[in-house]
Amino acid sequence: MNSERDLERERVTSRLRELVCESLVVTPERVTDDASLLEQLGADSLDLVNLAMQVETEFSIVIPEQDFEKLVRFNKAVDYILSKIETAGVVAVEASAEPKLAHAE
């Protein structure tokens, strides 16, 4: 039985593979877990910027420009996106927590 984290990894992997295929016009079979978007799939720096923007929109995360290099290898990109989603989830949970009021005695 898959854990929630495994299911999220599968979802991110599947959707990122679709985005890479659409952006770089490659078949899903070419987008292996260890594929380099630059060397094996023919992406250039503009392709990475466009992919980063699509990923930001798709997963509701922010990718600083200095982190674009983390999207170069497919499996590393999945890990990076998952870490950003988890961080955003923690921030969202903390932001939605009700403030505790101090009671004067």
Which residues make Cβ contacts (< 8 Å) with residue 93, sequence separation at least 6? none
Between CA 13 and CA 39 the distance in angstroms is: 20
Tokens, residue 10: 């599968």
Residue the block writes with tokens 């509701």: 60
Q: What is the CA radius of gyration of the chain?
A: 17
Catalytic option among 44, 47, 67, 79: 44
- 44: annotated active-site residue: yes
H runs (alpha helix) in 25-73: 45-59
Task: Cite the active site residues.
Answer: 44
